Chain A
Amino acid sequence: MSTDLSVPVFTNQSEEELGGKWGMVIDQDLCTGCQACVAACSMENNIPFVGETDAAYGRSIQWIRIERFWQGSFPEVKMTPYQPMMCQQCHNAPCEPVCPVFASVHSASEDINLQVYNRCVGTRYCANNCPYQVRVFNWRDYADARVRPELVTLQNQLNPDVTVRRRGVMEKCTFCIQRIRHTEDVAKSEGREIRDGEVVPACAQACPADAIIFGRIDDPNSRVSQAGLASRGYHQLEELNLLPRVTYLKGESNNGSNG
């Protein structure tokens, strides 16, 4: 009987940090705040509009929002670079362990965070625990044409690949999981790996400034991995060590201020 006495090798990065599968890079220098991603996301993912009153009260259901702040006052006023915020698909996602019914779960195969609408009972703990505040809740039956007659014709637009959520359910950005799965199936049927850039979420597809890059971060040669290496790269709320899968490239406009 012998005991393995070798000292484990420590690196400055954890195993999780090196891993991951899907990732995104958002270049704040390029983002013009045009909201095309917001529109594209809502059209792809069957996100309902909530109306003026609820929107004013912070109930708009937008999986991606574009933040901006101000620095200084006139005439030295600067707008901070536009900062699109969506689910960061953390590896150490704080939303996951707090759900009592496993509605917020980690996908082992895709290494992203999923919300199981059917399982959600609406305790909203996940949303409280999300430091990025990117989870949105269905406060009413926003998507139900029986409640909102104006949707009777509009609901023809609904995407059949995405569940329409009813009231009482939490939801969030999925990295367009339906597109990921579809592309994976296509690749599998053709007996090959997914090509870089083959999966494009709705936001990245629409973005006129090409500020959003999506792809495999476990492939060091992919466009997203390369873009993420830029010295401008940072993670939102890095100090929490949530290992988010979205890398932001610091905006250099507006006197180099950092969002």
Chain B
Amino acid sequence: MAVTAKSLPQARPHAKGHEDPREQLMFDPKPRGEMNAMVLESMHTATWKFWTLAGVLTVLVLTCFVYAWYYLIVQGLGVAGVNRPVFWGIFLVNTVFWIGISHAGTFISAILRVLKVEARRPFTRAAELMTTFGLVQAGASIFMHMGRVWLAYWLFPYPNERGLWPDFHSPLMWDFLAINTYLLCSTMYLFLPLIPDLAMVRDQSKGPLKIFYRVLSLGFRGTENEWKNLQTAMNIFAFAIIPVMFSVHTIVSWDFAMATRPGWSSTVFGPYFVIGALHSGMAAVAIVLFMIRSTMKNMKYFLRPEHFDFLGKLMLMVSMAWAYFYFNDYLVPWYGGDKWEKLFAEFIEKGPLWYLWYIMLICNIAVPWLTLWNKNWRRTPWLLAIIGFFINVGMWLERYVIIPEGLTINRMPFTWRIYIPAVEIYLTIGTLSLFFLLYLLASRVIPLIPVWEVQEGQKAHMLRKVGKAEIPTLSEME
């Protein structure tokens, strides 16, 4: 980092109705040491509220996750609401939901990094963490779903004396491998950009913590060569993880699309699921950023309304794309004229659970379309978080409509049955609690803001005069 960027002028006060392209670039740099201290302070400041919340979440995890799962394993799936024909219930809804959530992390981080979108800088870390912790919930939900989870290791292609091997024809096997790959990649991808920040924390801490961070930061000292290698590794991962990310959710969709079921067997499911995942994932990022911003110290400097604004635009765009695919998912079966597909559509619209379908559409389309066009609303973090919440409810319901409701309608009307969740509700609360608890604990251990990345951005920006206008540009360093 031998570039010495010239100091930038203060950003002009925000003018209403006029978007200053420089806003996202955080043209108000602070000295490096101060910024490091700000992040460290945010890590180490914990009020009683924090510990109360952590305690409540721990209790919830112990009861709704650990105990409920134990109960489920000991009693069998009879304590859940699954039946014939709804063999897959909320566990798989949660799985798809969490994988979807985990999508946005990588999307924001990798794609935006590759595309060099500057607005990404302060919140890549938060999004990547969401990916990893979301995948943990997705994996847990899959295991909850299994009838004999104690034999789950049979899904691994491990050598054994009986020569038994998993069936690579099975979409579930693809799913299993894809999720594992994704978890591995996303963890690495989370870790690589974390190294300089960990080194920074190491340098600022004392005692046993220092040893801890020393191990984690792999001896990173910030030499030119280390930076170069790190950048190369990150670039490789950023490019490599994008196809993994798209394939994971496509493969998740194949669990459904490959089945011979009305409502499931659809070629559009791959991109449709990817967009759906982004839809819920973006919304989840908005929620998480709002929480970080409003609860952690010094975060208002890093996470600004203009970042939310950017996120809001993305959400609106993804919502429109999702709506297109959802419409498409209707159009194709309508064109095909299959009677079972028609029945399924009729069931979700007019059946006993019709309201779920309407809530889903309102949350996924009406809410973002009616709000996110407004710049001021986009720039209001709490509002964006609420919109994000609605979108997540909508996307969860979308999976609910596809999975348990889709299973209700099959080609044997004699067996149709409505699914009534039971212990799944507790376990859903349990996974949510575990997600937030992990996030909460992580916020104590690692910097949620990639400080070096923000600093890099600030340093790399400059204003060039083209005629009379000042155009923000990047230096050649990236």
Contacts and interface: CB of A to CB of B under 8 A. Distances in A.
Nearest to A125: B172
Contacts of B75: 140, 167
B59 interface: no
B155 interface: yes
A124 B149 CA distance: 12
Interface string A75-100: 00000000001000000001001111
Contact of B167 (A100, A124, A129, A137): A100
Question: Do most interface residues of chain A lie in helix, strand or loop, or is the interface mixed?
Answer: loop
Range for the number of chain B residues in contact with chain A = 35 or more
Question: Do most interface residues of chain B lie in helix, strand or loop, or is the interface mixed?
Answer: loop
B411 A131 contact: yes
Interface stretch (B35-43, B257-265, B269-277): B257-265
A128 B82 CA distance: 12
A161 interface: no
Interface stretch (B7-15, B84-92, B362-370, B434-442): B84-92
Contacts of B148: 120-122, 167-169
Interface string B385-396: 000000000000
A47 B413 CA distance: 24
Nearest to A132: B412
A64 B302 CA distance: 64
Interface residues of A, number: 42
A170 interface: yes
A133 B87 CA distance: 10
Given A65-B414, A98-B258, A128-B259, A137 B154 contact: no
Contact of B146 (A54, A99, A123): A123
Interface in B99-139: none
Nearest to A54: B78
Contacts of B356: none
Contacts of B145: 123-124
A133 B154 CA distance: 26
A98 B166 contact: no
A135 B407 CA distance: 14
B328 to A, nearest CB: 23
Given A99-B170, A102-B166, A121-B147, A137 B258 contact: no
A74 interface: no
A159 B417 CA distance: 32
Interface of B: 75-79, 82-88, 145-149, 151-152, 154-155, 164-167, 169-173, 176, 255, 258-261, 407, 410-415, 417, 420
A69 B176 CA distance: 40
Nearest to B410: A133
Contact of B83 (A59, A65, A121, A167): A59
B266 to A, nearest CB: 15
22 contacts: A57-B83, A58-B417, A65-B414, A98-B259, A100-B167, A100-B173, A121-B148, A121-B149, A121-B151, A121-B154, A123-B147, A124-B82, A125-B255, A127-B84, A128-B87, A128-B88, A129-B259, A131-B410, A132-B412, A133-B84, A167-B76, A170-B147
Interface in A140-171: 140-141, 167-170
A119 interface: yes
B415 A101 contact: no
Given A120-B147, A129-B259, A102 B82 contact: no
Interface centre among B78, B169, B417 (most CB of A within 10 A): B78
A167 B151 contact: no
A177 B55 CA distance: 56
Nearest to B258: A98
Contact of B147 (A54, A59, A69, A124): A124
B409 to A, nearest CB: 11
Contact of B170 (A100, A139, A141, A240): A100
Nearest to B169: A97
Contacts of B415: 58, 133
Given A98-B170, A99-B167, A121 B152 contact: yes
Contacts of A122: 77, 146-149
